[in-house]
Amino acid sequence: GVLTRVCGCRYGRKLNTMNNQECIDNSQAESSQTSCNGRFQCRNSRCIPLSYKCDGDDDCHDNSDEQNCP
C-alpha cells in the first residue's frame, strides 16, 4: 500500500489545498467565533478549557492565557 502523511495546522491557519504541504492564514474562521460557552476566550478568539489558564503553557498561541496570573 501507499503510505500517506496527514498533518494539521495550528489554530487560525489551514492546510493549503494547492500543495497540501504548508499552512496558510485562516483568520476568517477565527473571527467568526464569538462565545466560548464557559471556556476561556483567548485574545485571538480561540477557546480553551478554563483549566488551561495560568498553567505555564501558551495554549492560546498568543500567550493571553498566561497573562494576569497570580
Question: What does the pLDDT look like over 18-37, one tens digit per residue?
Answer: 988 888 888 765 554 468 88
Mean model confidence pLDDT for the chain: 83
40-41/13-15 β-pairing: unpaired
Q: Which pLDDT score, from 0 to 100, does residue 52 have?
A: 95
Question: Torsion angle of alpha carbons 44, 47, 53, 56, nearest 10°?
Answer: -70
Task: pLDDT band for 5, please (50, 70, 90 cuts).
Answer: low
Which sequence spans correspond to the domains of the chain? 13-64
Q: Which pLDDT score, from 0 to 100, does residue 17 have?
A: 86
